[in-house]
A and B are shown apart, each in its own frame.
Chain A
């Protein structure tokens, strides 16, 4: 008996609609996150992640409604991230039906938020998202950040460096009460060249909570190395949405490589 590697599709949701292209047959409404969630659930997704990219915080009600409707119809764990700044935000998402909540920028600005959420709702609800990249000179030609691990935490979708060591940050967040680390490689994100396995290894070595690998998945062959590097779960977005890969194919690939799947 071994815990299965989780395969997690991630949907970007803007004002209650799925953004990024979605190319699924037999979808009544390809822009409806609830429809998408149902399909992924039926295809064997082990969890679902919604990333709320709604710019205006005034439109958060739309997100809660999407979460509510999804939780009514899909009986697998649902994580919702994006724009979570306070324990009240967490409370609202959990009440709407989210099982876990992703926190990113707000925790960088104020790490105590992690402890506050964990103390009030338990560590198991808190997924810390880390958008990390290899330390390199800034795009504007500015000086390179230097961190001990060689990886740096970024904000604003990878456009701004923080100078914070990504591995140290993941470690500290777990100590503060994060139940899981969503490790997103900003270098690999969108490239379809594969996960950043050295970064996964570096974080795995220093963190004992589960690590979700994110960023870079393009082919089936990209998934087993992420797990071999220490990921407990693999997350992908566009390869699933565009229909390039199916959840079941990813699981077959992992199984063939000797990793347990559901």
Chain B
């Protein structure tokens, strides 16, 4: 395993970081949980978990200089993956309990309360991914992934005008209404669901990400 990709799970106080660590190690990554700036910058891949409130996560991320680290890594084309609220904070802003907070704004869009009869959206749901998705490569169409969230992004607003740039690949799920379930955009990938808790299907996704590192 000398060629195992080095992944840092960013430890900024939010997210079930142990689950992410174990699942990544399970599929062959050399994982470290840390908020150390140099290590987070140097890793082959940076995983940003996140649970709880959008505004609290953003505050924690800033205090750990995570906003800076994510931005620097992306400008150098170095892979970053966000999970759950770790995906939501990549968008422009989040509105929870009527409170608006700024996100990292890597992608335009707003994280808003999910409109469905039963919330949180908790459990296993299917995902509609583009056929050429690398994240979902080898995953059967009807496969289900584990979601736990009450907020979501309903519209994908980023248009890539330059034909030389690869278009972002966006996957969707519906619970009450359609929302963004996963994104692949250059070095920045993210999922609203929890691959680390999605059994074999989730392991396949994490392995697909590791293969790009």
State whether the Cβ of B189 lies closer than 8 Å to any Cβ in chain A: no
CB distance from A102 to the nearest CB of B (A): 14
- Which of B17-25, B37-45, B59-67 binds A? B17-25
CB distance from A214 to the nearest CB of B (A): 16
Chain A residues 98-118 with CB under 8 Å of chain B are 99
Is the Cβ of A46 less than 8 Å from the Cβ of B117? no
Is the Cβ of B123 less than 8 Å from the Cβ of A75? no
CB distance from B178 to the nearest CB of A (A): 9
| B203 nearest CB neighbor, chain A only | A75
Is the Cβ of A122 less than 8 Å from the Cβ of B51? yes
With beta carbons under 8 angstroms apart, the residue of A3, A46, A124, A262 that contacts B51 is A124
State whether the Cβ of A179 lies closer than 8 Å to any Cβ in chain B: yes
Chain A residues 61-109 with CB under 8 Å of chain B are 71-72, 75-77, 94-97, 99
Residues of A within 8 A of B118 (CB): 208-210, 232
Is the Cβ of A99 less than 8 Å from the Cβ of B16? yes
- Which of B87-95, B101-109, B194-202 binds A? B194-202
A 201-224 to B, binary, CB cutoff 8 A, 1 in contact else 0: 000000011100000000000000
| A179 nearest CB neighbor, chain B only | B120
State whether the Cβ of A199 lies closer than 8 Å to any Cβ in chain B: no
| B51 nearest CB neighbor, chain A only | A122
| B146 nearest CB neighbor, chain A only | A77
Number of interface residues of A (CB under 8 A): 31
Chain A residues 1-46 with CB under 8 Å of chain B are 1-6, 41, 46
Is the Cβ of B124 less than 8 Å from the Cβ of A6? yes
Known: A1-B173, A72-B22. Contact between A210 and B203, CB under 8 A?
no
A122 CA / B13 CA spacing, docked (Å) = 13
- Indicate the member of B119, B122, B128, B174 with the most A CB atoms within 10 Å: B122
State whether the Cβ of B134 lies closer than 8 Å to any Cβ in chain A: no
State whether the Cβ of A52 lies closer than 8 Å to any Cβ in chain B: no
With beta carbons under 8 angstroms apart, the residue of A41, A75, A210 that contacts B23 is A75
State whether the Cβ of B150 lies closer than 8 Å to any Cβ in chain A: yes
A95 CA / B22 CA spacing, docked (Å) = 13
A251 CA / B137 CA spacing, docked (Å) = 27
Residues of B within 8 A of A75 (CB): 19, 22-23, 26, 196-200, 202-203
Is the Cβ of A4 less than 8 Å from the Cβ of B120? no
A72 CA / B128 CA spacing, docked (Å) = 29
- Indicate the member of A3, A96, A233 with the most B CB atoms within 10 Å: A3
Known: A77-B197, A121-B51, A210-B122. Contact between A4 and B144, CB under 8 A?
yes
CB distance from A235 to the nearest CB of B (A): 13
With beta carbons under 8 angstroms apart, the residue of B120, B144, B199 that contacts A210 is B120
CB distance from A10 to the nearest CB of B (A): 16
Known: A75-B197, A75-B199, A75-B203. Contact between A262 and B124, CB under 8 A?
yes
State whether the Cβ of A196 lies closer than 8 Å to any Cβ in chain B: no
| A96 nearest CB neighbor, chain B only | B18
Is the Cβ of B122 less than 8 Å from the Cβ of A46? no
Is the Cβ of B148 less than 8 Å from the Cβ of A124? yes
State whether the Cβ of A152 lies closer than 8 Å to any Cβ in chain B: no
State whether the Cβ of B149 lies closer than 8 Å to any Cβ in chain A: yes
Chain B residues 10-57 with CB under 8 Å of chain A are 16, 18-19, 22-23, 26, 51-53
CB distance from A231 to the nearest CB of B (A): 11
Known: A75-B196, A99-B19, A122-B53. Contact between A232 and B119, CB under 8 A?
no
State whether the Cβ of A250 lies closer than 8 Å to any Cβ in chain B: no
State whether the Cβ of B126 lies closer than 8 Å to any Cβ in chain A: yes
Residues of B within 8 A of A41 (CB): 199
A179 CA / B120 CA spacing, docked (Å) = 7
**A residues at B contact (CB < 8 Å):** 1-6, 41, 46, 71-72, 75-77, 94-97, 99, 121-125, 179-180, 208-210, 232-233, 262
**B residues at A contact (CB < 8 Å):** 16, 18-19, 22-23, 26, 51-53, 117-126, 128, 144, 146-150, 173-175, 194, 196-200, 202-203
Known: A3-B123, A122-B52, A208-B117. 5 other contacts (CB 8 A): A75-B19, A75-B197, A77-B148, A96-B18, A97-B22
21 A-B residue pairs with Cβ-Cβ distance under 8 Å, sorted by A, are A1-B128, A1-B173, A1-B174, A2-B174, A3-B121, A4-B144, A6-B124, A46-B123, A72-B22, A75-B19, A75-B23, A75-B196, A77-B148, A77-B197, A94-B16, A95-B18, A97-B18, A121-B52, A122-B51, A125-B51, A262-B124
